[in-house]
């Protein structure tokens, strides 16, 4: 089975500063990786995903993430934080069908991004 670890339950940045949210995964087969954002009282919304190909993935709202197999990481970054980025962020992992891993998507515990004016 796959697993995901999100380092830091809370990350606090100033508006305009770099955002870095950390995600490390464990998988016995090449994974598919996702970042979702959740605003209060709403469901999760996909920010970006990595399946195959280019390891630097660009998503919505200026976010991007880089798949690093050697580090088993998929950290989320944004060059300049906006107040509207304040939300809960979840990293998730699954695997392609037929590769032998569990197809059940596994989510991390989430990281709350706090943006100060």
Partner 1 sequence: GAGVSQSPRYKVAKRGQDVALRCDPISGHVSLFWYQQALGQGPEFLTYFQNEAQLDKSGLPSDRFFAERPEGSVSTLKIQRTQQEDSAVYLCASSLRDQTYEQYFGPGTRLTVT
Q: Which residues bind partner 1 (CB under 8 A)?
A: 9, 32, 34, 36, 41-46, 49, 51, 90, 92, 94-97, 103-110
Query: Which among 70, 65, 79 is positioned nearest to 6, based on CA atoms?
Result: 65
Q: How far is the CB of 89 from partner 1 (least distance, A)?
A: 10
* CA dist list (Å): 105 to 15, 20, 78, 85: 32, 23, 25, 24
Cβ proximity to partner 1: between 56 and 97 the closer is 97
In the complex, the smallest distance separating the C-beta of residue 117 from partner 1, rounded to whole angstroms, is 25
Cβ proximity to partner 1: between 93 and 115 the closer is 93
Residue 88 CB, nearest approach to partner 1 (Å): 9
Which lies closer to partner 1 via its Cβ, residue 78 or residue 90? 90
Ramachandran area for residue 110 (φ above 0: left; ψ -120 to 50: alpha; else beta): left
**CB of residue 80 to partner 1, shortest distance in Å:** 26
- Find the helix or strand (DSSP H, E) in which 25 lies: strand 19-26
CB atoms within 10 A of CB 70: 5
Task: Count CA atoms closer than 13 A to 67's CA, side-chain side.
Answer: 21
Q: Which is nearer to partner 1, 18 or 46 (CB)?
A: 46
């Amino acid at each position: 089975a796959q697993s995901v670890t999100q380092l830091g339950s809370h990350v606090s940045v100033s508006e305009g500063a770099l955002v870095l949210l950390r995600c490390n995964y464990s998988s016995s087969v090449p994974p598919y990786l996702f970042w979702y954002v959740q605003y209060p009282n709403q469901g999760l919304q996909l920010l970006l995903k990595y399946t195959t190909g280019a390891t630097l993935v660009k998503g919505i709202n200026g976010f991007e993430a880089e798949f690093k197999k050697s580090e088993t990481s998929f950290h989320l970054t944004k060059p300049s934080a906006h107040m509207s980025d304040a939300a809960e962020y979840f990293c998730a992992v699954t695997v392609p069908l037929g590769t032998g891993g569990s197809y059940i998507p596994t989510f991390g515990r989430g990281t709350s991004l706090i943006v100060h004016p």
